[in-house]
Amino acid sequence: MSRELNFIDLFAGAGGLSEGFIREGFQAVAHVEMDKGACDTLKTRLAYHYLTQNNKLSIYKAYLKNEITREVLWGNIPESIMESVINEEITGETINDIFKNIDKQSDGHKVDLIIGGPPCQAYSLVGRSRDPNRMKGDKRNYLFRYYAEFLKKYKPKYFVFENVLGLLTAGNKRYLNEMTQLFESIGYSVAEPTVLNAEDYEVLQKRRRVIIMGKRGNKKFNFPELQKVENKWQIKKDLLYDLPYLNPGDEFNIVKYAKPINKYLRTTEIRNGIDIVTQHITRNHNKRDLEIYSIAIDKWVNEKTRLKYSDLPARLQTHNNTEAFLDRFKVIDPIGHSHTMVAHISKDGHYYIYPDSKQIRSISVREAARIQSFSDDYFFEGGRTAAFKQIGNAVPPLMARAIAKTLKEILK
């Protein structure tokens, strides 16, 4: 392996956390992820990085333009890179085989860093509220124990564990306390859990996540200070302004930009050299939803008030419960930052309505990816629904990059 600093990404998803570290010069030894679509996305992204480093980006561009198949794209990449994406659920039955696979990939090199966060539904406040047992007994509550097995096996200098805010209170703090004690018992000094706000790192989204960081050894370790950036950028004017007009149901899988690049898209590298937009695709909507969207857009854009479901005309209400989930229709803020992107966007677009009465629809896959700070050359495999799910579950790459930059300075 050519790079000095390397990492393993557990519960990797579509690679948002990993992307931040790769862009700061780290090399991925392995990604472990149970979802097949996300693994395919990871492989395609690793293909992009390999081809970029070897001055063969034209091959990747040909794939985005549908001039070559995915098999041809992947066929241009060394097998060792493709095999570093391990499509497995981490369980007691699979963990030893995963270790063998990673050992083959690491080729005897020491692992500097382990990153990742288990699926968050078990700690999420929303997940707990929707589950009749409030997630008690859910096996995902204890996936951190497998994370600890990787720390024991590879003894990285540092680890970065990412999760939702609910982790701080889940089980009356039982999971957090057990997690911290476990990490300390296997030789890590664990910093106080820190809540990061994606907005502090140029992400145009109100997204807060808990980061637990640990350093090998018993010497007290404090969470390092990350460099924050002033973020006065706006969703519509700065982030989405150059994407082509869409009607509901439009599928622009390959399309030219509607306007030139601006300062925000250039400095964040969201637009970074690829001359086309892919996956600018949105759902079709029935007449009822379009009428509701229109009302919601008018109230938010012109009155700065959110539509309450109970305020809709009776003919537009299909749910009997008009007291819970009153904000089930929500418009993206055009002059501020988006509310948190979650995986539910894969089920319907009601919570992510485009903020313009001239384009009454939910947001496109590419718009969702940009709100999460993925660059336009990031291609999500598996179709529209799979792409939305991968994007909603991801860590914003710009926030991940801020963590990676600070850790690189410490490690070097």
- Does residue 119 sit in helix, strand or coil? coil
How far is it between the farthest Cα atoms of the chain? 66
DSSP-assigned letters across all residues of 301-335: HHH--PPPGGGS-GGG---S--SS-TT-S-B--SS
Does the annotation count 120 as an active-site position?
Answer: yes
Q: Which of 14, 29, 39, 120 is catalytic?
A: 120
* Numbers of helices and strands, H then E, in the chain: 14, 10
Cα 97 → chain centroid: 27
Helix/strand/coil for 84? coil
> How many CB atoms are located within 10 Å of the residue 342 CB?
18
Alpha-carbon distance of 114 to 184, in angstroms, equals 15
Joined tokens for residue 275: 């001359």
The Cα 380–Cα 37 span in angstroms is: 8
Q: Which residues have C-beta within 8 Å of that of residue 301, sequence separation ≥ 6?
A: 331, 334, 355, 356, 357
And the tokens for 245? Answer: 């007009």
Tokens encoding 212:
């637990």
The distance from CA 12 to its chain's CA centroid, rounded to whole angstroms, is 9
> Catalytic site residues?
120
